[in-house]
């Protein structure tokens, strides 16, 4: 009888209950408050944007995998997440087809052409955003006010236009709850922070990247930002900072895997973001900074490989 | 015999297409393919230079000392490029301005030097001329395909004629630098996929 209870197995013996599907589910649910805030502020059209982007992302994944004779993996939720992020990165007044085009681009070219989930060298949603911004700058910067949909500018664009305009800036409270012009999913820092705390608590994302990113932007903004503002705080609440640092920079595939590497990566994202915001020609730099650091991630990993247990450095070997 | 020359001629168009198979001379191919018009004239100039450089190099191949063959090739190629450069400046000043630096840069186009080195220097005059012409046509076809896709998506037009109507939301990225790489990457990928599937069958 005792013999039957003895199970013989090869390593590994410890399993994590975390599966790809589960991680994607957690991230998507963490994004729900921010998406809901976007729909609340910008109306049903925002919901249409989100649905079209998700639908096209999932459809493209299925079609490409079918054409390439690969197993269809739309059930893992990664395409849904990419589509959702693309939808959240659109201004509500943009034409409805734009998120669909972005989703097809993200999944077919940035993700599947490089080998699918786990092989994309940059974040597909962000690459799609950069493509859309370069292709249709007038649609992608067509900002409107929450609720009544009047033409407006984002806080960062107001600041970029010059110091005399800073009186037109919204209050910090409005920026915190999301009552400002911007992309559907980026305006409400409150909702995004809720999702971020949930993900860090569930250990889905590492606190290092958002913390390094947010900290760098805060310090840099405080030192170099416009006078007369609490500019460190302003640069945290404005633009895609929260969405980018919590949900996009922490993408497993395109961010470094080492702990030290994640600090470097986060600081790099923060520095490039602030360089673009302060001295670049675009008012916002979150997406470009993350894309650039995505490309640098393999290099960062190479230089931050932790020492193996018992390893002796070459200098001390003598 | 006839068949061999025909094969030399078509070699550059399909099986060894300079842009899509050999992936040579990428810089001008990517830069001039923003419009079909530019690509067409670039192709014409490359056909001219490639045909005659192959012809002259093949004629002189027994006179050119081995050790200084590359400088000798460049002298011949540069002479031909100067001819097209001046002809373009005289008869098509607008196109000459649009293509700008990429006309003199034909001198250092890898395809031309590659065909001189690997074909014209080792083969007879007729075969070399045909090879140069075939490669030139292959280059022209490739840049025309790239330019047609980029101009259509990035500007909604073909050869300057608006096809898709004024309301077409052209994707500006396609006529910018990233569009060149994206288009080339997708085409190379499709060609690789098709040849792999053919091999597997």
Of A101, A113, A136, the CB nearest to B189: A113
Report yes or no on B75 lying in a domain. Answer: yes
User: Confidence class of residue B20 from pLDDT cuts 50, 70 and 90?
Assistant: confident
- In-domain check, residue A86: yes
Contacts of the segment A71-79: beta carbons below 8 A, 24+ positions apart: A73/A116, A73/A117, A75/A21, A76/A20, A76/A21, A76/A24, A76/A117, A77/A20, A77/A21, A77/A24, A77/A25, A77/A28, A78/A20, A78/A24, A78/A117, A79/A107
Question: Do A86 and A129 contact (CB within 8 A), yes or no?
Answer: yes
Q: Which residues of B touch A95 (CB under 8 A)?
A: 169
Asked if the C-beta of B4 comes within 8 angstroms of chain A's C-beta atoms, the answer is no
Q: What total number of domains does chain A contain?
A: 1
Q: Which residue of A has its CA nearest to B193?
A: A68
Give A-chain residues touching B169 at CB under 8 angstroms.
95, 136, 139
Within-domain flag for B197: no
How far is Cα A124 from Cα A119, in angstroms, rounded to an integer?
Answer: 11
Q: What is the DSSP letter of A144?
A: B
In a domain, B198, yes or no: no
Structure tokens at A124: 């597909």
Q: What is the mean pLDDT of residues A202-210?
A: 92
Mean pLDDT across A157-179: 76
Half-sphere exposure of A225 (CA within 13 A, CB side): 22
- How many domains in chain B? 1
Residue A230 in this model has a pLDDT that exceeds 80: no
Asked if A168 and A72 count as a contact pair (C-beta separation under 8 A), the reply is: no
Indicate the SS3 state at residue A316: coil
State yes or no: pLDDT of A164 exceeds 80.
no
- Establish if B183 belongs to a structural domain: no
Query: Per the CB < 8 Å rule, is B178 touching A131?
Result: yes
**For chain A, what is the radius of gyration of the CA atoms?**
21
CB pairs under 8 A between A and B: 24
DSSP class of residue A89 equals: T
Is B177 contained in some domain? no
Residue A145 lies in a domain: yes
Higher per-residue confidence, B181 vs A312 = B181
Cα-based torsion angle of the residue sequence A219, A222, A223, A224 in order, rounded to the nearest 10 degrees: 110
Q: Which of B156, B173, B176 to mutate to test the interface with A (most CBs of A within 10 A)?
A: B173
Q: Which residue has the tokens 């931050």?
A: A304
Residue A119 pLDDT exceeds 80: yes
Q: Measuring CA to CA, which residue among A93, A100, A148 is closest to residue A128?
A: A100
List chain B residues with CB under 8 Å of A135: 170-174
Contacts of B90 by beta carbon, 8 Å cutoff, 6+ apart: none
Residue B34 lies in a domain: yes
3-class secondary-structure state, position A183 = strand
Inter-helix orientation angle B69-91/B36-59, to 10°: 140
Mean pLDDT in residue range B160-172:
79
pLDDT at B41 over 70: yes
| Residue A8 in domain | no
- Does A36 fall in a domain? yes
- Quick check: B9 pLDDT over 90? no
For residue B174, list chain A residues with Cβ-Cβ distance below 8 A: 135
* A237 Cα to chain B: minimum distance (Å): 30
**Can you spell out the DSSP letters for B61-103?**
TTTS-GGGHHHHHHHHHHHHHHHHHHHHHHH-HHHHHHHGGGT
Residue B1 has pLDDT above 60, yes or no: no
Indicate if the pLDDT at residue B147 is higher than 60: yes
Confidence of residue B156 (pLDDT cuts 50, 70, 90): confident
pLDDT confidence of residue A163: 58
Pairwise CB contact (< 8 Å): A113 & B185: yes
Mean pLDDT over each residue of chain B, to the nearest integer: 88
**Does B24 map to a domain?**
yes
Cα of first residue to Cα of last residue in chain B, in angstroms, is: 31
- pLDDT, position A205: 92
- Are the beta carbons of B172 and A135 separated by less than 8 Å? yes
Model pLDDT, residue A228: 59
Between A12-21, A94-103, A188-197, B121-130, the lowest mean confidence (pLDDT) is in A12-21
Cβ-based contacts of A100 with chain B (< 8 Å) = none
Residue B100 covered by a domain: yes
- Mean pLDDT on B162-181: 84
Which residue, A179, A301, A154, is CA-closest to A238? A154
Q: What is the domain-level CATH number for residue A150?
A: 1.10.3430
Question: What pLDDT, on a 0 to 100 scale, did the predictor assign at position A175?
Answer: 86
**CB within 8 Å of A113: residues ≥ 6 apart:** B185, B186, B189
Average pLDDT value for residue range A259-265: 94
CB B182 within 8 A of CB B60: no
Q: Which of A68, A115, A134 to mutate to test the interface with B (most CBs of B within 10 A)?
A: A134
Q: Is the pLDDT of residue A318 over 60?
A: no
Q: Confirm whether A10 is domain-assigned.
A: no
Residue A113 touches partner B, C-beta closer than 8 Å: yes
* Cβ contact B171–A113 (<8 Å): no
Domain that holds residue B40: 2-147
- Taking the C-alpha atoms of residue A53 and residue A47, their distance in angstroms, rounded to an integer, is 10
Q: What is the pLDDT of residue A298?
A: 93
pLDDT of residue A84: 95
- For residue A196, being part of any structural domain is answered with yes
Task: Give the Cα separation of B54 and B37 in Å (integer).
Answer: 26
Look at residues B29, B28, B57 and name the one whose alpha carbon lies nearest to residue B118. B57
d(CA A246, CA A104): 24
Of B169, B182, B189, which has the smallest distance from its Cβ to A136's Cβ?
A: B169
Would you state the pLDDT for residue A153?
79
A1 touches chain B (CB under 8 A): no
pLDDT band for position B15 (50/70/90)?
confident
H/E stretch holding A113 reads none
- B71 contacts chain A (CB < 8 A): no
* DSSP 3-state of A108: helix
pLDDT, averaged across chain A: 88
Q: Which of B169, B176, B185 lies at the smallest CB-CB distance from A134? A: B176
Quote the ipTM score.
0.81
| Domain coverage including residue A258 | 20-303
Average pLDDT, stretch B18-30?
84
CA-wise closest residue to B79 among B48, B58, B102: B48
CA-CA distances (angstroms) from residue A23 to A13, A18, A28, B169?
21, 7, 9, 37
Convert the pLDDT of each residue in B111-130 to its tens digit: 888 888 888 988 889 999 99
Backbone angles phi, psi at B38, to 5 degrees: -60, -45
pLDDT category at A178 given cuts 50, 70, 90 is confident
Q: How confident is the model at residue A166 (pLDDT cuts 50, 70, 90)?
A: low
- In whole angstroms, give the CA distance from residue A241 to residue A214: 8
Reported pTM: 0.86
Contacts of B178 in chain A (CB under 8 A): 131, 134
Q: What pLDDT is recorded for position A59?
A: 96
Q: Which residues of A132-160 are buried (b: 16+ CB within 10 A; e: fewer)?
A: bbbbbeebbbbbbbbeeeeebbbbbbbbb
Identify the closest residue of chain B to A105 by CA–CA distance. Answer: B182
Residues of A in contact with B150 (CB under 8 A): none
Distance to chain A for B154, nearest Cα, Å? 8
Residue A206 forms part of a structural domain: yes
Instruction: Calculate how close chain B gets to A307, using CA atoms only, in Å.
Output: 39
| Segment among A17-21, A32-36, A222-226 with least mean pLDDT | A222-226
Encoded tokens for A255: 């961010």
CB proximity A134 to B under 8 Å: yes
Nearest residue in A to B178, CA atom: A131
The B residues from 117 to 176 touching A (CB cutoff 8 Å) are 169-174, 176
């Amino acid at each position: 009888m005792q013999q039957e209870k003895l199970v013989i197995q090869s390593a590994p013996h410890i399993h994590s209950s975390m599966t790809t599907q589960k991680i994607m589910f957690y991230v998507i649910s963490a994004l729900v408050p921010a998406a809901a805030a976007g729909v609340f502020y910008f109306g049903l059209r925002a919901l249409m944007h989100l649905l079209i982007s998700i639908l096209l992302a999932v459809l493209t994944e299925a079609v490409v995998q079918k054409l390439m004779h690969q197993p269809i993996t739309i059930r893992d939720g990664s395409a849904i997440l990419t589509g959702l992020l693309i939808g959240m990165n659109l201004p509500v007044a943009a034409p409805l087809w734009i998120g669909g085009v972005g989703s097809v681009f993200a999944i077919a070219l940035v993700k599947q052409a490089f080998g699918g989930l786990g092989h994309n060298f940059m974040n597909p949603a962000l690459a799609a955003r950069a493509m859309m911004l370069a292709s249709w700058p007038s649609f992608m910067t067509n900002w409107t006010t929450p609720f009544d949909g009047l033409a407006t500018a984002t806080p960062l664009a107001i600041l970029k236009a010059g110091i005399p305009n800073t009186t037109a800036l919204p209050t910090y409270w409005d920026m915190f709850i999301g009552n400002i012009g911007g992309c559907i999913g980026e305006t409400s820092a409150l909702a995004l922070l809720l999702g971020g705390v949930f993900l860090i608590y569930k250990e889905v994302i590492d606190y290092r990247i958002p913390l390094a990113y947010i900290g760098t932007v805060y310090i840099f903004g405080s030192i170099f930002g416009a006078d007369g503002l609490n500019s460190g705080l302003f640069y945290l609440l404005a633009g895609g900072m929260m969405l980018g640092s919590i949900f996009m920079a922490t993408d497993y595939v395109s961010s470094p895997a080492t702990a030290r590497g994640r600090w470097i990566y986060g600081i790099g994202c923060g520095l490039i973001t602030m360089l673009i915001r302060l001295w670049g020609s675009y008012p916002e730099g979150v997406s470009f900074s993350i894309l650039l650091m995505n490309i640098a991630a393999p290099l960062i990993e190479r230089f931050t490989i932790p020492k193996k247990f018992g390893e002796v450095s070459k200098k001390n070997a003598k | 015999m006839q068949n061999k020359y025909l094969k030399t001629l078509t070699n550059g168009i399909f099986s060894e297409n300079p842009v899509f198979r050999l992936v040579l001379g990428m810089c001008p191919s990517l830069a001039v393919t923003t419009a079909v018009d530019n690509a067409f004239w670039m192709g014409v100039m490359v056909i001219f230079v490639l045909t005659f450089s192959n012809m002259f190099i093949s004629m002189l191949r027994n006179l050119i000392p081995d050790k200084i063959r590359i400088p000798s090739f460049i002298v011949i190629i540069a002479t031909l490029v100067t001819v097209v450069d001046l002809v373009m400046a005289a008869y098509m000043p607008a196109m000459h301005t649009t293509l700008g630096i990429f006309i003199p840069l034909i001198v250092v186009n890898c395809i031309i030097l590659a065909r001189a080195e690997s074909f014209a220097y080792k083969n007879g005059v007729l075969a070399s001329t045909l090879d140069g012409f075939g490669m030139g046509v292959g280059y022209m076809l490739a840049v025309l395909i790239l330019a047609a896709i980029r101009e259509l998506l990035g500007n909604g037009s073909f050869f300057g004629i608006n096809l898709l109507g004024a309301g077409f939301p052209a994707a500006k990225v396609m006529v910018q630098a990233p569009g060149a790489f994206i288009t080339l990457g997708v085409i190379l990928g499709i060609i690789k996929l098709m040849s792999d599937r053919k091999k597997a069958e």
